[in-house]
Chains A and B, each alone.
Chain A
Amino acid sequence: MVFKVEDLWVKVQGHDKYILKGVDLSIGKGEVHVLMGPNGSGKSTLLKTIIGMPQYKIARGTILFMGKEINNLQPYERAKMGIGIAFQSPPRIRVKTEYLIKLITTKFRTRLLPYEEYGISHLVSRDLYNGFSGGEMKRTEMYLTILQRPKLALLDEPDSGVDVDSLALIAKGIEQLMEEGASILLVTHLGYILKYLDVVTELHVMINGKIVYSGEPEKALDLILTHGYSYFVKGGD
């Protein structure tokens, strides 16, 4: 097992309410897991907790990566171990994109990937995410994640707010991660990206901080598209 969370309870710093309320999830090597759910159900919180963003506080439960508990590791230690994250809305940073790309290849001792294949050639000389369109931002974030050669890739809504061309490029990126043997945890709100992906191991539905359904992707997607998430809230008829 590459990755496992057990009974994970998480609060956001300064708030009393739990966002995650006992999440269990296991991902094997090379598996692709899709996590869906309504807005505010805790999908992004789960990814940010896994990478170790400081404002997400674990109250209970463990996160295991490559057989090791990583609850108390710094984000950069988790990244160095092989966890890569593509954020849903990364901040704009006053640093040249190409400069950061070079630093990442140095840090992870990886080779540069051709910009044109990811549709970012025209972006690398600009400040990171400064005036990028939705698609440009997601493509760049995907590129940076692949560049790390992660063992586990956390992809937070790479398909939201992007055009069809970007969607195809992002799907290609996910396929590349799969070919390289990475395990993937993909969060998607509407599931657009699933049309482009051949092999999905499992689809999970998260409602109100809990995974309420895990199963064969086509069937689950069919249920979501026909009945909406309310079907899962009710616990299924």
Chain B
Amino acid sequence: MDNKELKVDFSRYDYGEKEAIEEVEEIPSEYKEKAKEVGIEVDKGGGVYFQIDHNIIYQKLIERLRKKGIIIMSIGEALRRFAWAKKYYWRALSSRSDKVSKIAEGYRRNGYFIYVPPRLKLDEPIQTCLFIAKQNIAQPVHNLVIVGDGAEATLITGCTAITEEALHIGVSEFYIGNNAKLTFIMIHNWTPKVHVRPRTGVIVGKGGIFVNYYVNMRPGITLQTLPKAILHDGAKAYLTSIIKSGRKALVDVGGRIVFKGNDTRGEVITRSVVTDRSEVTMRGILETEGNVNARGHLECRGLLLSDNAKAIAIPQLEARGMRANLTHEAAIGKISEEELNYLMAKGFTEEEAVSIIVRGFLEAGVELLPENVREGVRLALDSMAKSL
């Protein structure tokens, strides 16, 4: 972490004592409603993992999906039961790379484990929710997702808190097999004093596709994440981050793609709306590993809605050899007067016009998502554009 402002005193949080599974028949309705804001509807869909603080309170895997060989369980249980699962543990990421990863490694308990067997094409999204309810808690989860060769799956993870202060650490490792596809949607909505540290590593096999769509409706006090996808021959990755930051939040987001194989394609898109005294850094790194035939594009766009807000764009391209074609564009600005006036002449108040422009700005990458999840995502984006 190169920004000292993002420093966190990790020792002041409560890490809990042991793995706890306290399953309930029915998730309390206040939690359900809160989860819905981050795209999780537990009553819909055939696969659900719901964790509150350190407890897994609800898991669902309907028989039809179980029969097809899908596995959804806590990572603790998976590592105990399946020797093969261990091969994937800390392979896409290093537990020694930073303090946050070390904490997750030491904790070694909850988080979800999802396995989709080869050639299975799953239509309905699997839903997971990581929820913080207790004050001053640390929630260091480790998630592991394996999508077998030729399989296709969509995963939605919603993360939210109802308490003021907490620490959320989310280590996620995704293994996408040859010619497989994973669409991963993560929606965050935090309270003002939550520190959030996702650490995401992705390995995409030959001809595989990884679509990462991250929406942060409201960061806590600090957020730092830079998911990294490694692409083998013919693989593609699309990393989109949509952020609306306010208050005094310090945010550092983006994506990194490593083009390891030939005929690889990748795109990193970050859009940030920054209000109040908040500061957002948008990073993007595209790099080739050796002289490979790769094509990549990077886009960072910031929209400032306050004179005290700050946005920084740091696009980085690293090409080795002559076969790569990497491009980037970055832009930071305010809402154009001309656009505002146009919309006001069409009957919208200034407030409504701002909201329309912001909503349009946030609409990036939605077309890459499967039809059946777009509505939920658009609802989240709508609510971001309304509460300015």
Interface residues of chain A, those whose CB is within 8 Å of chain B, are 51-54, 74-76, 79-80, 85, 87, 90-91, 93-96, 99-100, 103-104, 107-108, 127, 144, 148
Contacts and interface: CB of A to CB of B under 8 A. Distances in A.
B64 interface: no
Given A91-B339, A93-B339, A75 B345 contact: yes
B338 A91 contact: yes
19 contacts: A54-B341, A74-B344, A76-B348, A76-B350, A79-B345, A79-B347, A80-B347, A87-B342, A90-B342, A91-B336, A91-B342, A94-B363, A99-B356, A104-B346, A104-B347, A107-B347, A108-B347, A148-B346, A148-B347
B370 interface: no
Contact of A94 (B348, B350, B361): B361
A85 B349 CA distance: 16
Main secondary structure of the interface of B (DSSP, over half): helix
Contact of A52 (B345, B348, B363): B345
Interface of B: 336, 338-339, 341-350, 352, 356-357, 359-361, 363
Contacts of B345: 51-53, 75-76, 79, 85, 87
A210 B39 CA distance: 59
A99 B346 contact: no
Given A53-B341, A75-B341, A103-B356, A96 B363 contact: yes
A104 B345 CA distance: 12
B360 A93 contact: yes
Contacts of A107: 347-348
Contacts of A96: 360, 363
Pick the 5 closest A-B CB pairs, nearest first.
A95-B360, A79-B347, A75-B344, A94-B360, A91-B338
A94 B338 CA distance: 13
B360 A127 contact: yes
A103 B352 CA distance: 10
A95 B338 contact: no
Nearest to A154: B345
Contacts of B363: 94-96
Nearest to B362: A94
A156 to B, nearest CB: 11
B347 A95 contact: no
B216 to A, nearest CB: 20
Given A80-B347, A94-B360, A100-B356, 9 more contacts: A74-B349, A76-B345, A76-B349, A76-B350, A79-B345, A91-B338, A94-B361, A99-B356, A108-B347
Nearest to A53: B341
A95 B359 contact: yes
B254 to A, nearest CB: 20
A74 B349 CA distance: 8
B169 to A, nearest CB: 35
A53 B344 CA distance: 9
Contacts of B347: 76, 79-80, 104, 107-108, 148
A41 B347 CA distance: 27
Contact of B359 (A74, A90, A99, A127): A99
A144 B336 CA distance: 21
A11 to B, nearest CB: 17
Nearest to B367: A125
